[in-house]
Structure 1
């Protein structure tokens, strides 16, 4: 297993640890922290999947 695959654990752990983001403050543009924290992981996860894909594809 390549170490680059461990990057995919970042969003998994970040969203699995619910007590960290289960709060209302601070809000961003009227959205409570609970929602914008989760929505922030959509582009982060997409970027990490792309980076892992590129590393695995180029390594063949």
Structure 2
């Protein structure tokens, strides 16, 4: 397993860990513009999850291109 694939895995697992660890965000304070912490924390993770998924996808594409290049170079 390459370091890039480890980073991809971490990008995809982080949102699950953050959301499954309910005790870390099951509170009302600090409120943000009147919205309790419990809700805005979860909505923030929607945005963070999107960014991490896009990052993982781009890293995956880069890794696949690099593997194809190495494979083509070795075949010659």
TM-score by length of 2: 0.74
CA RMSD of aligned residues (A): 1.0
Tell me the matched-pair count.
60
Gaps of 5+ in 2: 65-76
Q: Moved runs in structure 1, 4+ residues, more than 2 A?
A: none
Gaps of 5+ in 1: none
Q: Greater share of helix residues, 1 or 2?
A: 2
TM-score by length of 1: 0.92
Q: Please tell me whether residue 17 in structure 1 is matched to residue 21 in structure 2.
A: yes
Q: Please tell me whether residue 36 in structure 1 is matched to residue 31 in structure 2.
A: no
